Amino acid sequence: MNKFYVTTAIDYVNAAPHIGHAYQKIVADVLARWNKVLGKKVFFLTGTDEHGKKIAESAQKNNKTPKEFVDEISQKFVTSWQALNLDFDRFIRTTDEDHKKTVLEFVKKIEESGDIYKGKYSGWYCVGCERYYTETEMPDKVCPFHKKPLEEVSEDAYFFRLSKYQDFLLGLYEKNPEFILPVERKNEMVNRVKEGLQDLCITRASLDWGIPFPLDKSHVIYVWFDALINYYTAINSDDKKIFWPADVHLLGKDNGWFHAIIWPAMLKSVGIEMPKNVFIHGFLTFNGNKISKSLGNVISPLVLADKYGADPIRYYCLRQIPFGEDGDFSEEALVNRHNSELADTLGNLVNRVIVLTEKNFDGLVPQKGEDDNLSKLALETVEKTRKALDNFQFNVALNDIFYFLGEANKYINDNEIWAIKDKEKLGNMMYNLLEAIRFSSILLYPFIPETSEKITEQLGLEKKFCFDDLKWGLLKTGTKTKRGKVLFQKIKC
């Protein structure tokens, strides 16, 4: 079907959001907007994970009930994503009633498959990750992400027969080479499955902040087992089921195990179709360390959005860091890209062309003449952008688009357009420049939507961004341009 379903990891609400959380959500928003440009029906899901021991402890430290605490922190995530202009279709919370209902149905179906049994769990647990580790994984008994000692846990519990699905998972990866991306993450997951899978503890008896386990009300469902089901909850209605399977789950490399191994095994157990792709990306770091409250290096997306605006932050994150790899956040690099690329290349081009149109043609789009090398480069850029986005290469797409914009600026300078006296020749060149800007507004829309809308306003066009409009020569002669404010003011360091 002509649909696209993109999900992000749902963030744990033990503390307010930081720019590390925002990076993944910006990527999801770009994919959602791009697929809308392509004409698809799109569903973009994000949200918050609100159960577990860490939440209960954080609420207690803040003298709040767990529900009061998660309500407050979850809203901070919503406010932050709105500040970054993220156009999500649903912000799901694991305390939502429809999620609880779906989780209970899911667990009962897994039990009907014979994949749940009661036993005793003894092992090592990280409260920060809400995750169990084996001694083989962590012989030093220290969490690799939070750098804190693991807690030894021993209690009665219910288990999911994850070990049953080892051969299924290896077959899934072999038959669907792009199920896990990028390839180095796939290799990690394959090797871990080949080492052997242990059954998964899916309940806690020592905790009451969670969804009650339907087979034994003295237990609550393990937070990760509950959280993964959110991707199905969001489309578990008659009007949304067309979106399953998910086209891509986006998640950080600390979540790969859950999404690439546990989640497909759960889906297989209940007979639900597999997602098409699980993309495991790197961390956005700060001075070489993962950004997190526990490490004391949090950068608030709200503060950044207020300081620089949403589009420069979106642009920087996608332009600076090859998606999939770790990347270090730097305000200095953000300012440099803002000034040299957004202001000098894009903003300067739009301003020059609109001013020249006003000066020479009373602000009206001149007559279309012969196409030239600029039109050829525009069409090549469209295909390059589509190919790059098909492969999650956001930095490559932006590099191609800004090369095109640079060539448009060069077109002005090399031809000394400001000095041309031949009205017909000048009109032809100005038409090509205006059309180049129109192309750029569509290609840039997924990345910097607010700026693209401003460009279309200055071109006198409606705010409509459609791939079918990326055909040269659609800009109508006589369209009235409307010069606006300069798109990007230089930031003084």
Same domain, 37 and 135: yes
Find tokens 């066009």 and name the residue. Answer: 461
> Active-site residue among 36, 51, 53, 126?
126
Q: What is the CB neighbour count within 10 angstroms for residue 282? A: 18
Contact 480, 434 (CB under 8 A): no
Same domain, 84 and 170: yes
> Active-site residue among 290, 338, 368, 384?
290
Annotation marks residue 290 as catalytic? yes
Same domain, 292 and 409: no
Q: Does 436 fall in a domain?
A: yes
Q: Does 205 fall in a domain?
A: yes
Same domain, 302 and 342: no
Count of all residues that appear for the chain in the document: 493
DSSP-assigned states of every residue in 157-191: EEEE-GGGGHHHHHHHHHH-TTSEESHHHHHHHHH
Q: Does 12 fall in a domain?
A: yes
CA distance 278 to 340: 35
* Contacts of residue 147, Cβ cutoff 8 Å, sequence gap at least 6: 295
For residue 254, give its domain range: 3-308
> Active-site residue among 51, 129, 219, 384?
129
Kindly compute the dihedral angle of the four CA atoms of residues 86, 88, 453, 346, in this order, to the nearest 10 degrees. 40
Annotation marks residue 493 as catalytic? no
Q: Does 300 fall in a domain?
A: yes
Q: How far is CA 474 from CA 99, 379, 444, 461, 470, in A?
A: 46, 13, 18, 11, 8
Q: Does 483 fall in a domain?
A: no
Contact 433, 353 (CB under 8 A): yes
Alpha carbon distance, N-terminus to C-terminus of the chain? 49
User: Strands across the sheet with 131-133, in order?
Assistant: 131-133, 116-126, 151-160, 200-201
Annotation marks residue 317 as catalytic? no
Same domain, 383 and 294: no
Contact 450, 310 (CB under 8 A): yes
Find tokens 């360390």 and name the residue. Answer: 289
Same domain, 27 and 110: yes
Same domain, 272 and 334: no
Question: What CATH number has the domain bearing residue 352?
Answer: 1.10.730.10
User: Which of 244, 278, 308 is the endpoint of a domain?
Assistant: 308
> Active-site residue among 164, 240, 293, 490?
293
Contact 102, 236 (CB under 8 A): yes
Is the omega angle on the peptide bond into residue 212 within 30 degrees of 0, that is, cis? no
Nearest Cα neighbor of 339 from 305, 308, 314, 301 is: 308
Annotation marks residue 99 as catalytic? no
Give, for all 493 residues of the chain, the pLDDT tens digit: 699 999 999 999 988 898 889 999 999 999 999 999 999 999 999 999 999 988 998 899 999 999 999 999 999 999 999 999 999 999 999 999 999 999 999 999 999 999 999 998 877 878 777 677 767 677 778 887 777 888 877 889 999 999 999 999 999 999 999 999 999 999 999 999 999 999 999 999 888 899 999 999 999 999 999 999 999 999 999 999 999 999 999 999 999 999 999 999 999 999 999 999 999 999 887 766 666 655 555 688 998 999 999 999 999 999 999 999 988 888 889 999 999 999 999 999 999 999 999 999 999 999 998 778 899 999 999 999 999 999 999 999 999 999 999 999 999 999 999 999 999 999 999 999 999 999 999 999 999 999 999 999 999 999 999 999 999 999 999 999 999 999 999 998 6
Contact 230, 10 (CB under 8 A): yes
Annotation marks residue 219 as catalytic? no
Q: Does 322 fall in a domain?
A: no
Same domain, 13 and 160: yes
Helix axes 310-320, 301-308, angle to 10 degrees: 110
Annotation marks residue 293 as catalytic? yes
**H-state helical runs in 321-470:** 331-337, 348-361, 373-390, 394-415, 423-444, 449-458
* Contacts of residue 40, Cβ cutoff 8 Å, sequence gap at least 6: 2, 3, 4
CA distance 245 to 256: 18
Same domain, 374 and 295: no
Q: Does 416 fall in a domain?
A: yes
Q: Does 493 fall in a domain?
A: no
Is 0.85 topped by the overall pTM?
yes
Same domain, 279 and 363: no
Same domain, 251 and 343: no
Question: What CATH number has the domain bearing residue 82?
Answer: 3.40.50.620
Same domain, 398 and 301: no
> Active-site residue among 36, 143, 268, 384?
143
Annotation marks residue 146 as catalytic? yes
Q: How far is CA 213 from CA 92, 95, 103, 218, in A?
A: 21, 15, 9, 8
What is the sign of the dihedral through the CA atoms of 105, 111, 115 and 118? Answer: positive
Contact 291, 297 (CB under 8 A): yes
User: How many structural domains compose the chain?
Assistant: 2
* pLDDT (0 to 100) of residue 152: 79
Which amino acid, 403?
Y
Phi, psi of 219 (to 5 degrees): -120, 155
DSSP-assigned states of every residue in 404-424: HHHHHHHHHHHHTGGG---HH
Q: How far is CA 199 from CA 24, 171, 206, 212, 287, in A?
A: 30, 19, 20, 20, 38
Nearest Cα neighbor of 148 from 226, 54, 22 is: 54
Which amino acid, 156?
D
* Contacts of residue 344, Cβ cutoff 8 Å, sequence gap at least 6: none
> Active-site residue among 64, 146, 240, 253?
146
Which amino acid, 489?
Q
Q: Determine how β-strand 248-252 pairs with β-strand 278-281.
A: parallel
Annotation marks residue 18 as catalytic? yes
